[in-house]
Chain A
Amino acid sequence: MPEASETGFQRSPFLIVGLGNPGLEYLWTPHNAGFMAIDRIAQQEGVVVQNRRCRATTATCRIAGREVVLAKSETFMNLSGIAVAALVEELEVDPARDLLVIYDELDLVLGTFKIRERGSPAGHNGARSVTDALATQEWLRLRIGVGRIYLPKPLRQRAASDRAEIICSRPCARRI
């Protein structure tokens, strides 16, 4: 439910959704970078994403004075829009202003990310599902690069084996 602001108007929470696939077999795969990001934000805010609503697991916290709902979709990636649209409706969120979706991007270099306010799904099944469900491309997204590694030329030959090792290690294990 929207919260009351200082001016008396009801203000919707800010919704941050990470995309990924549910299940242990997908837990540490690059395609679940969106889930990992949500877990990292939750960890830093001292909350656990475990409440079930709208086909997602969620947690509520406050960042920069704003009520924030963190969510990980419980649908598979290609149906992510179902969870996102349900959350948008229940929380009465404006997708163009109060929604951030975080997901992986093969076209971005590993170790980088990009923020964009709109755009086409560019072949990402989760982004396509969100766009279809919201019937708009006007939603803020943060894409985490899981593509090729950028290395100085002498090191590029090692990239393939290094990439597998880096991605498959358990990035959050030391903090759990």
Chain B
Amino acid sequence: MTVLDEVLDKVAAATRRILELGPAAAMNEFNRKDEKTGNKD
């Protein structure tokens, strides 16, 4: 599985979460997970 292929599944899951619980909940769940990668924002 390629990196991009894997992230597309997570993007689909995040999109579903936005619709289920709203953007704030989705951001809390998904924006935190990649802190270790060094993304600045």
Binding site for B on A (CB under 8 A): 14, 16, 30, 33, 36-37, 40-41, 44, 63-64, 66, 68, 100, 102, 107-117, 140, 142, 144-146, 149-150, 166-167, 169, 171-172, 174
Contacts and interface: CB of A to CB of B under 8 A. Distances in A.
8 contacts: A63-B16, A108-B39, A113-B11, A115-B31, A140-B18, A140-B23, A167-B4, A172-B8
Interface of A is mostly: mixed
Interface of B: 2-12, 14-16, 18-20, 23, 26-27, 30-31, 34, 36-41
Contact of A16 (B6, B10, B15, B20): B15
Contacts of A146: 4
B23 A102 contact: no
Contacts of A30: 4
Contacts of B40: 107
A41 B39 CA distance: 25
B11 to A, nearest CB: 5
Given A140-B23, A150-B38, A166-B4, A113 B18 contact: no
Contacts of B8: 36-37, 40, 171-172
